[in-house]
Copies of this chain bind each other. A is one copy, B any other.
Amino acid sequence: MSASTPTPTPASTNKINITDLILRDAHQSLLATRLRTEDMLPICPKLDAIGYWSLECWGGATFDACVRFLKEDPWERLRQLREALPNTRLQMLLRGQNLLGYRHYSDDVVRAFVTRAAANGMDVFRIFDALNDVRNLRTAIEATKAVGKHAQGTICYTVSPVHDSAGFVAMGRELAAMGCDSIAIKDMAGLLTPYVTAELVKALKDSVPLPLHLHSHATAGLSEMCHLKAIENGCDTIDTAISALAGGTSHAPTESLVAALRGTPYDTGLDLEALQEIGVYFHQVRKKYHQFESEFTGVDTRVQVNQVPGGMISNLANQLKEQNALERMGAVLEEIPRVREDLGYPPLVTPTSQIVGTQAVLNVLTDNRYQTITNEVKRYLQGRYGQAPAPVNPELKEQAVGKEELIDCRPADLLKPELDRLTNEIGDLARSPEDTLTYAMFPEVGRAFLEHRAAGTLHPEPLEPPTSGLGPQAAPTEFNIAVH
């Protein structure tokens, strides 16, 4: 935390804290992560005056979107936000040993990434692993603590025969023992229901002496109710988004939760009228990005029936469309729980959502389960993503892995330090350690970004001009979210 930001306060008995997601998860969920820095900075003085516990503003898919589509330097975004938000904690979402990329990195890269993020202004590191394998969180947590920042250990919430409150509490205890400053429940799919939330929050608060944060997507329209029951059971901080980018696959509206708690022992103390002014700003901003709007932005409770996150359904629909097989969606939705069972019930979040979904599509389209096995499923069954929540299907493992190596150590234990190699590879294109990390996250796209920057040929993807009038509401056949 930079000198000018407040030091974390202990959880008070009653007052509820708010983390606003408007600068990260809200536009990642509703506008394909496309919000540009130029549309964040003008509102920062008002955001900074609110008194949020934190503003989530970096990490997740934003790093990728900056480099790939917006041709913005994500590190420069972070520095600008730090300067524009001197009184507010900045928070990021970090995929544990995957950082913000799509593979496991060696520990020296993880340490370098966390260190540079902290040096550029990050205060709170929300760290998760798709399998809830805490070994994949250890280095990132240690690195965060080493630079004196707030390490938030994250429990990915899911529903399965092997997941229950006791298991999540055990994970919470491990995270506390690893030195985390707080715990987050991450309900990326909107699976939580109010009374399940109540029980889980109470169990965690009874057993883990750390501040508890709840992150529960509004996909199924249950988020507000879940937050209320979490608060009543001791949750300290809730994640919300300014109403202009709330609801649907995003989050509960900040203003609504603040209004709901006003004048009660849980009062957030935030100024509702000041929040409404920020809402008006983002309503205008949202129009600029209309080309990234999903056809469907309403409530969708299907996840409460089939447990398949909305973002997965979108990807599956695209995969099936390419194969002219959209009519097999029903079969795929029935196959997903079977594949998930075979893989030991991983939570469905990046990258496990893709791994399970793609294999389910193959199983359906070939009409022969596991006739083709993806390389990712094979690597998963080898243990290369970490430990599955439950034993995997032994026959499938035998079939996929054969005589090849199985590992049961932490996957990154097999990785040699790679920072020097990456530094050498990218050479003069990197003007800073941050540039090297950009290259490390995205070898091709990151290199291209640095090359274009050097050549002065960075051009953000074009935005379509504003349209007028209202389009029709579409049926819920497609979705547009990443599972974060």
Contact = CB atoms under 8 A, between A and B. Distances in A.
A392 interface: no
Given A222-B256, A260-B194, A473 B300 contact: no
Nearest to A288: B472
Interface stretch (A70-78, A129-137, A243-251): A243-251
A250 B475 CA distance: 19
Given A259-B220, A260-B194, A473 B299 contact: no
B467 A472 contact: yes
A293 interface: yes
A56 interface: no
A227 to B, nearest CB: 8
A286 to B, nearest CB: 5
Contacts of A229: 228
Given A247-B298, A471-B470, A276 B305 contact: yes
A472 B475 CA distance: 18
B299 A476 contact: no
Interface string A272-290: 1101100110011011001
A376 interface: no
B272 A305 contact: yes
Nearest to A248: B247
Contacts of A284: 475
Chain A interface size band reads 35 or more
B276 A302 contact: yes
A225 B260 contact: yes
A252 to B, nearest CB: 8
B466 A283 contact: no
A472 B287 contact: yes
A224 interface: yes
Contacts of A276: 301-302, 305
Contact of A255 (B194, B243, B258, B299): B299
A377 to B, nearest CB: 29
Given A221-B224, A272-B305, A286 B476 contact: no
A308 to B, nearest CB: 13
A264 B256 CA distance: 25
A268 to B, nearest CB: 13
B472 A253 contact: no
A195 interface: yes
Interface in A207-251: 220-222, 224-225, 228-229, 243-244, 246-247
A469 interface: yes
A264 B195 contact: yes
A366 interface: no
A471 to B, nearest CB: 4
Interface of A: 193-195, 220-222, 224-225, 228-229, 243-244, 246-247, 252-253, 255-256, 258-260, 262-264, 272-273, 275-276, 279-280, 283-284, 286-287, 290, 293, 295-296, 298-302, 304-305, 466-476
Given A283-B474, A466-B472, 18 more contacts: A193-B260, A195-B263, A220-B255, A220-B259, A222-B259, A224-B225, A228-B228, A244-B473, A253-B299, A256-B301, A259-B301, A276-B305, A284-B475, A286-B473, A290-B472, A290-B473, A469-B471, A470-B471
27 contacts: A194-B228, A195-B260, A220-B259, A221-B252, A221-B255, A222-B224, A224-B225, A225-B228, A225-B260, A228-B228, A243-B299, A243-B300, A243-B301, A244-B298, A247-B247, A247-B298, A258-B301, A259-B301, A276-B302, A283-B473, A283-B474, A287-B474, A290-B473, A293-B470, A467-B469, A467-B470, A470-B471
Question: Ordered nearest first, which 5 A-B pairs have the shortest CB separation?
Answer: A221-B256, A287-B472, A470-B471, A255-B301, A283-B475
